[in-house]
Amino acid sequence: MMGLPGIHFPGVGCGLIIQRADAKVLLYRRVKAPEAGHWSIVGGKVDQMERSSEAARREAEEETGLSIGDVDFLCPLEVLVEADSQHWISMIYVARAFSGEPQLTEPEKLSEMGWFDLSDLPQPLSVFAQKSFAAFEAKRPA
């Protein structure tokens, strides 16, 4: 199949919620579509013959400079970003084990970063992040 994933056919992606011990989560502001200018979790495309959990770890390490430990599966997401004519099916994971300090390692893709409390997330927040955090909150113990 010719074309670009997410644009000419549904793309397979991954995302990773990175959470510190103080419960704050790491978000980056996207430079490119889908959802340019929106804050989101790290992630990207899953490569052929790559497990989505490994893709989530790889993308997070590339985008943050962190060394990511174990990742836990959170949920599948299907996101249609009509404004950008993009369609993604993504596996979302959570990482609480990591080392290092996050950096802006890919400024052509991500322009800002920060640690945020779940009750005070920056705006605008990407649909990917909104749906990921809704699943994250639903799975948290009461």
3-state secondary structure of 64: helix
The predicted structure's pLDDT at residue 142: 63
Q: What is the pLDDT of residues 62-102, one digit of tens each?
A: 999 999 999 999 999 999 999 999 999 999 999 999 999 99
> Average pLDDT, stretch 103-113?
95
Q: Reduced to 3 states, what is the DSSP secondary structure of residue 21?
A: coil
Can you spell out the DSSP letters for 86-119? Answer: EEEEEEEEEE--EES------TTTEEEEEEE-TT
pLDDT bucket at 140, cuts 50 / 70 / 90: confident
Closest CA to 41 of 87, 9, 79: 79
User: How do the domains of the chain map onto residue ranges?
Assistant: 11-121
Global confidence as pTM? 0.95
For residue 139, the SS3 value is helix
Residues 17-53: tens digit of each pLDDT: 999 999 999 999 999 999 999 999 999 999 999 999 9
CATH fold of 11-121 reads Nucleoside Triphosphate Pyrophosphohydrolase (3.90.79)
Question: What pLDDT, on the 0 to 100 scale, is given for residue 2?
Answer: 82
> Could you tell me the strand order of the sheet in which 25-30 lies?
39-40, 25-30, 110-116
